[in-house]
Chains A and B, each alone.
Chain A
């Protein structure tokens, strides 16, 4: 879903970006070290089709979040009876 709908998501700057731009604060902003990476800004660089690029970026992100979330699941799961710690 994130992959599909995010194509339609507003591409306007978000609230913080807008406010900092208005106030002239963003003149000091620097691109982070990974700003040129393949997945920067939720797209997949090298894929021209904006929809597909955004879709894949979203899909990758959701998959990674799912993997990390599964890790959280194992961390917070109470041990079952009989399970050794």
Chain B
């Protein structure tokens, strides 16, 4: 979902860039020094993982492909603020080095893929986990759901931005339907990849999952209790 230059006019592109810059600044401020020596390496790994997986396009319909976006996955693994940094790195690399996504569209692409996806994911994840039993299954299910919705949110943001500043002549309703319907399919892919990845990490190193931090008991606490008793 990397927008090329020229789809959307300069005013909206600049506006999006300003918003993205603000959000990135918040991300930088709030994430500084927050992860411990166990969880900090994950930030770098998540960036590499998402970059690699974004290159793996899978077919979703005749003549169309999709790929992982990763905002939800990042947010659940390392928390929203670090996730913003991770996605900024990935999307910027793609635009600057690989011309995937326009340069003047970078603000828009960062906003949609790096910020809207993360904000929606973080809020929805927290909200859903409040309502559900605090188990591994819940976390995986919520992760997949949140990932799905984050893709729709990003696609919706694109349509909204296009309605403000699109350069071609168009019918907004048919743009909405066209963009959203293909992203429903991509969202399913995102949900599957996110759910599987979170499940795998929960099974091996649950302490690394930011989204699980207040829910799953720390293993070493349990060991100490049984030794003392």
Q: Which residues of A contact B (CB under 8 A)?
A: 1-2, 5-6, 9-16, 18-20, 22-35, 37, 39-42, 57-58, 60-62, 64-66, 68-73, 75-80
Once the chains bind, are B63 and A65 in contact (CB under 8 Å)? no
Closest 4 CB pairs between A and B? A69-B44, A2-B52, A30-B6, A10-B65
**Known A10-B59, A12-B65, A15-B182; contact A41-B47, beta-carbon cutoff 8 A:** no
Stretch at the interface among B92-100, B194-202, B214-222: B92-100
Once the chains bind, are A41 and B57 in contact (CB under 8 Å)? no
**Shortest Cβ distance from residue B165 to the other chain A in the assembled complex, whole angstroms:** 11
User: Which residue of B86, B100, B169 contacts A42 across the interface (Cβ within 8 Å)?
Assistant: B100
Q: Which residues of B contact A (CB under 8 A)?
A: 1-7, 28, 31-37, 40-41, 43-48, 51-53, 55-60, 63-67, 78, 82, 85-86, 89-90, 93-105, 155, 158, 162, 166-171, 174-175, 178-179, 182-183, 185-186
Once the chains bind, are B51 and A2 in contact (CB under 8 Å)? yes
Q: Give the dominant DSSP class at A's interface.
A: helix
Q: Which residues of B contact A33 (CB under 8 A)?
A: 103
A78 to B150, CA, bound (A): 29
**Known A6-B55, A10-B65, A62-B52; contact A22-B2, beta-carbon cutoff 8 A:** no
Q: Which residues of A contact B63 (CB under 8 A)?
A: 12-13, 18
Question: Could you jot down 17 A-B contacts, CB within 8 Å?
Answer: A2-B55, A12-B59, A14-B65, A14-B186, A16-B1, A16-B183, A18-B63, A18-B182, A31-B5, A34-B96, A37-B97, A42-B98, A73-B40, A75-B85, A76-B34, A76-B85, A78-B37
**Known A25-B170, A32-B5, A40-B98; contact A61-B182, beta-carbon cutoff 8 A:** no
Once the chains bind, are A18 and B64 in contact (CB under 8 Å)? yes
Once the chains bind, are A62 and B48 in contact (CB under 8 Å)? yes
Q: Which residue of chain B lies nearest to A68 when distances are taken between CB atoms in the complex? A: B89
Q: Which residues of A contact B100 (CB under 8 A)?
A: 41-42
Q: Which residue of chain A lies nearest to B63 when distances are taken between CB atoms in the complex? A: A12
Give the most central of A26, A28, A69: most B CB within 10 Å. Answer: A69
Q: Which residues of A contact B46 (CB under 8 A)?
A: 69
**Shortest Cβ distance from residue B98 to the other chain A in the assembled complex, whole angstroms:** 5
**Known A32-B102, A76-B34; contact A9-B56, beta-carbon cutoff 8 A:** yes
Once the chains bind, are A10 and B58 in contact (CB under 8 Å)? yes
User: Which residue of B4, B53, B101, B155 contacts A30 across the interface (Cβ within 8 Å)?
Assistant: B4
A5 to B41, CA, bound (A): 25
Once the chains bind, are B97 and A64 in contact (CB under 8 Å)? yes
User: Which residue of B7, B36, B182 contacts A25 across the interface (Cβ within 8 Å)?
Assistant: B7
**Shortest Cβ distance from residue B196 to the other chain A in the assembled complex, whole angstroms:** 15
Once the chains bind, are A15 and B183 in contact (CB under 8 Å)? yes
